[in-house]
Structure 1
Amino acid sequence: MSRPGNRYDPRDLVAETLIGLLTRPLRSALTTLGTVLGITTLVITLGVAATAADQITTRFDAMTATTVSVTAPAPAAGSTDLPLLDWDGPEQVTRLAGVTAAAALAEAPAGHDLPVRASALDDPARAGASIPVVAATTGLPGAVRGTVTAGRFFDAGMVARHDRVAVLGDQAAALLGIRDLGEAPAVFVDGQPFTVIGILGGIGREQFLAATVILPPTTAHDRLGFGPPGRVLITTALGAAAQVAGQAPVALAPGRSAALTVVAPPSLERARKGVAGDTDALFLILGLVSLVVGAVGIANVTLVTVVERTGEIGLRRALGAARRHIAYQFLLESTGVGLVGGVVGASLGMLGVVAVSAAHRWTPVLDLRLALAAPVAGALVGLAAGVYPAVRAARREPVDALRAGV
């Protein structure tokens, strides 16, 4: 013959749980609010952290992840070896897949101080200064992400004709007092005149070029004794930098590529994971603290409910409910509160991430796994919070419970 407790129908357990929650709707709502706040905070913090990390790495991608620089060592004094880089190098590099722009760059020979003036005379009324002078190929604006703000940049024809022309960086133009190119102003480099045909501004890479005088390589060689380029600047498509960094030295100096120094951006994936990991760890702690607060709230309210329902517990025990059935009922009630709080909190959290992203004009990063895991997390929090009250309720003896409930 089976014991009365074994005849307890599970459907009765579910019904009693629903009655226990619905007969005190305000208390149940307030209890659920703690979990809602905890889950909402957790979802928002993780979502905003992921969105912020994506925004940071996107900016990192746009600014630095597409730049490659190849540098040749300075030749030894008296060396007769052929230079590692030449002015035709950018043409070789631009044939590589993923390269969007390339330019070769040479600075003035070491120890040569080239005075630059806007007038042939040493006139205090006219601007004059010691400004760096560089030689570059025609692809320099694209390679440094610059824009010609006035006039034009020299082209292949000017380079081939050895034209005595110059382009000024915007800071150099301001220092020399040159603003209007309509009258074809000239600058005098080491006493030799060069017609200013353009001003280069908005330089996003190699920003020292904003304060330089830029000459065609042939003209710089003929007039000022410039040698071969010391660097090749390369701009790539997003994601192609690592591949180009491996191929560019071979294209520039076949057989001697090991002598070149290549500077390439770090791995995007590593940077993205690092930023995301740091922000996630910071915000995860805040979210977990809120969740713990919600769990404590559920435990306290459930424990108060056990005390208030002592008579009910004694009556149910007298009618055949076993200790485990009493424990199951309170565990189900606390788990149900946590589950509802998780669902509501996940929904509010997702809306919060979208709102924060819209306010900052970011693209929200919403992880569906987080949305699905939040209700489960809420239920587990409710289950854990209800363990102690459920054990307290199950340990009440029927006679004591009935006497206390009278």
Structure 2
Amino acid sequence: MDPRDLWTEALSGVLARPVRSALTTLGTVLGIATLVITIGVAATAGNQIEGRFSALAATSVTVTVPPPPPGPDPVPLVEWSGTDAVRRLAGVESAAALADSSATANVQVRANDITSPGGVSGQGLAVVAASAELPAAVRGRMTAGRFYDEGNIARRDRVAVLGDQAARLLGVQRVDGAPAVFIEGQSYTVIGILGSVRREERLSTAVILPPTTAAERLDLTTVTRVLVNTSLGAAEQVARQAPIALAPGHQDSLAVTAPPDLTKARGAVRGDVDGMFLVLGLVSLVVGAIGIANVTLVTVMERTGEIGLRRALGASRRQVAGQFLLESTTIGLLGGTIGSVLGIVVVVAVAAAQEWTPVLDLAPALGAPVAGALVGLLAGLYPSLRAAAMEPVDALRAT
């Protein structure tokens, strides 16, 4: 039998029962589509996880400043102006100094009469001092008003910025009416509300004062932490240089918290996600292969008379086996092609819905039709061998 005739016979066998062939192909379509979708979604999710790791953790450096040594006139290790030297370091995007103490960790803060209906006038809140660059350093934004500037600091203005949760607790929703809060009986004009804080999230429940004002009225004079944000890849270098810039000659006294090397962590997370979804896709593919094997076996049993007639007319066992193998391979090839296209569409749709950047690996997408054909070939192997093993006389007698 000519190979072209064999292909024609196999295609005729597939098209002779279009509904059954379509349902059989559907199993492969679902298996291949699931495989492509899971690999694509895993790569896309892994890329998103990697981006979050880099954006949040791998760019944050914190320098902790110990209290000054005891004495009649203690000298702080880090001055408020020290962040200027840190900001000049290569790779630094923002830096701010912060001061807090146990004495101001829970201070009774009272709001004036400009409160929302039902609001509470007094709350125990933390009071901290910070340099003017704090919003950028904590990756926050002003939800109302503004943050104080160098002019407010130089004039020792009695102004305050509330964290968004602190403002909600005190009932302060707007700042255009110049509301005030009272700390230890002294009033401070609220000029802004800081929200969406992604570093030092406890600042959302704090009252933030200019460092000069806090030093004069609450004795918050010593910088306790310096928050630094770096560009990607610069955190390790900045972590080495920041203590020197902040306290030359005393850099060993400062404690630096730098992000660890996240390369292995990113790889492990992405590998776990890939492995989990790959197993699910392979399971779906095995289910599709079992469906092809079952249908092909049923087809062999239904076409016993046809097989006997072909053998009686001179068809060899190899040709009979080849015809059924080609039929199952064709079904697998069609299923793999359709499943690959469907999987790519679903991956792009999921990424668009989540506002992610789709990551498509061309190897699984282009190899899916080949994988489908291979699945069909393996699934049809036993039914084809069974068909080839039939004797012409037995097959004709069975009809």
Q: Please, what TM-score do these two structures have when normalized by structure 2?
A: 0.82
Deviation at 1:35, TM superposition (A): 1.0
* Alignment equivalent of 1:43, drawn from 14, 36, 40: 36
2:18 is equivalent to residue 25 of structure 1 = yes
Q: How does 1:86-165 map to 2 (within 5 A)?
A: 86-108=79-101, 116-117=109-110, 127-165=121-159
How many angstroms apart in 1 are the aligned matches of 2:175 and 2:341?
61
Give the share of equivalent positions with the same residue, in percent: 64
Q: Quick one: which amino acid aligns to residue 71 of structure 1?
A: T
Residue pair 2:53, 2:266 contacting (<8 A) in 1 also: no
SS of match in other structure, 1:131: strand
Residue pair 2:62, 2:228 contacting (<8 A) in 1 also: yes
Bigger Cα displacement from structure 2, 57-66 vs 321-330: 57-66
Bigger Cα displacement from structure 2, 242-251 vs 78-87: 78-87
2:388 is equivalent to residue 397 of structure 1 = no
Bigger Cα displacement from structure 2, 376-385 vs 74-83: 74-83
Q: What residue in structure 1 maps to residue 7 of structure 2?
A: 14
What number of residue pairs does the alignment pair up?
Answer: 393
1:303-335 deviation per Cα after TM superposition (whole angstroms, max 9, x unaligned): 122223334434444455443333233222211
* Alignment equivalent of 1:377, drawn from 358, 371, 381: 371
1:368-387 deviation per Cα after TM superposition (whole angstroms, max 9, x unaligned): 22211211211111111111
Deviation at 1:388, TM superposition (A): 0.8
2:233 is equivalent to residue 229 of structure 1 = no
Deviation at 1:17, TM superposition (A): 2.7
How many angstroms apart in 2 are the aligned matches of 1:138 and 1:310?
87
* Alignment equivalent of 2:333, drawn from 329, 339, 359: 339
Bigger Cα displacement from structure 2, 24-33 vs 249-258: 249-258
Cα pair distance change 1:111/1:401, threshold 3 Å: closer
Cα pair distance change 1:393/1:183, threshold 3 Å: closer
Residue pair 1:342, 1:375 contacting (<8 A) in 2 also: yes
SS of match in other structure, 1:17: helix
How many angstroms apart in 1 are the aligned matches of 2:175 and 2:303?
91
Q: Quick one: which amino acid aligns to residue 205 of structure 1?
A: R
Deviation at 1:146, TM superposition (A): 2.9
2:255 is equivalent to residue 261 of structure 1 = yes
Deviation at 1:295, TM superposition (A): 0.9
Q: Which runs of 5+ in 1 are unaligned?
A: 1-7, 120-124
Q: What residue in structure 1 maps to residue 321 of structure 2?
A: 327
SS of match in other structure, 1:47: helix
Residue pair 2:68, 2:77 contacting (<8 A) in 1 also: no
Cα pair distance change 1:381/1:253, threshold 3 Å: farther
Cα pair distance change 1:304/1:183, threshold 3 Å: closer
Deviation at 1:346, TM superposition (A): 0.9
Q: What residue in structure 2 maps to residue 306 of structure 1?
A: 300
How many angstroms apart in 2 are the aligned matches of 1:167 and 1:245?
29
Q: Quick one: which amino acid aligns to residue 31 of structure 1?
A: T
1:33-77 deviation per Cα after TM superposition (whole angstroms, max 9, x unaligned): 221122122223333333344445545555545433221234565
Q: Quick one: which amino acid aligns to residue 138 of structure 1?
A: A
SS of match in other structure, 1:342: helix
Residue pair 2:104, 2:128 contacting (<8 A) in 1 also: no
Q: What residue in structure 1 maps to residue 115 of structure 2?
A: none
Q: How does 1:64-75 map to 2 (within 5 A)?
A: 64-75=57-68
Q: Quick one: which amino acid aligns to residue 342 of structure 2?
A: L
Cα pair distance change 1:35/1:162, threshold 3 Å: same
Q: Quick one: which amino acid aligns to residue 130 of structure 2?
A: A
How many angstroms apart in 1 are the aligned matches of 2:346 and 2:53?
26
How many angstroms apart in 2 are the aligned matches of 1:115 and 1:108?
15
Bigger Cα displacement from structure 2, 351-360 vs 208-217: 351-360
* Alignment equivalent of 2:358, drawn from 334, 357, 364: 364
Q: Which runs of 5+ in 2 are unaligned?
A: 113-118
